[in-house]
Amino acid sequence: MPVANVNGITLSYQVKGTGPLVVLVMGTGSPGRVWELHQVPALAAAGYRVCTVDNRGIAPSSECAAGIEIDDLVGDTAALIEQLGGGPVLLVGTSMGARVAQELCLARPELVRKAVFLAGHGRVDLFQQTLSAGEHELDDSGVRLPAKFDAALAAVMNLSPTTLADPDTARDWLDLFEFTGGPVSPGVRAQRRMDHSFDRLAAYGAITVPCLAVGFADDRMIPPYLAKEVADAIPGASYREVPDAGHYGYLEQPAEVNRILLEFFAD
């Protein structure tokens, strides 16, 4: 994979397809290649040039274990866009990546043509604050949960009950979570320790980029009401909600998510 030297670190990225540039920003703890399962093929087939990136904290990009701030990730994304031609680009982020996209629209609107926030949020509710504090304590303790329990917890937190109700689909996901689990890397810990006390909704009133916020109806990590708040805060922004989808809605309901992206980009 190509590597970009930006802001004193290295970023690993991949570009596929030809046409207008779409930049996809992944969430906490996940590599950019997750987009390759469904979104990259659909966007490339529709005539877009698609860039995925391993955010700082995710190897082989610089892990930055000493600490990561949201402004670091926003600056990295902006610098990568500039290296790829300067924009304006079509921008998509999910979860933490949606927050990066939201802040980039505010800080560097000239780099963004349109933006989509999947499971985005402009503030953190009590459940998220408690979950984050619990993750920090677990990381610091050095305790490793049993693999099957860890897999079940990941499934409950990230998938829709509709997905888990199908035995074959649930088994596939549980096997995947169990296989990919294990110790948390220093870079992922740094991502997890980013500020979780923010409230940026008032600031988002200054965003002028055309935006679409997408909530996943069964999302326990970032409930859809938080995603809708982002749309309500941004002048002219739209909101869509995907049914039968948890936090990984772009993987659970890829056809619907891809349709929403392509319709918004083409409009």
How far are the Cα atoms of 143, 219, 238 from residue 235, in angstroms, in the given order?
45, 25, 9
Nearest 5 degrees, angle CA 43-CA 79-CA 65? Answer: 100
Is residue 95 among the annotated active site residues? yes
CA–CA distance, 49 with 121 (Å, rounded to integer): 27
Residues 173 and 155: their CA atoms lie apart, in Å, by 7
Tally of CB atoms within 10 A around 184: 15
Q: Which of 12, 61, 218, 247 is catalytic?
A: 247
Q: Would you call 247 a catalytic residue per the annotation?
A: yes
- Going through 30-154 in order, the beta strands assigned E by DSSP cover 49-54, 89-94, 112-118
123 and 232 Cβ atoms separated by less than 8 Å: no
Residue 80 and residue 53 in contact, taking contact as beta carbons nearer than 8 Å: yes
Question: Among candidates 38, 63, 86, 85, which has minimal Cα distance to 255?
Answer: 38
Pick the catalytic residue from 12, 61, 95, 160: 95
The residue among 16, 63, 59, 56 whose CA lies nearest residue 40 is 16
Active-site residue, 121 included? no
Nearest CA among 25, 6, 18, 19 for reference residue 120: 25
Q: How many residues does the chain have?
A: 267
User: H or E stretch including 212?
Assistant: strand 211-216
β-partners of residue 12 are: 3, 54
- Contact in structure between 74 and 100 (CB atoms under 8 Å): yes
List active site positions: 95, 219, 247
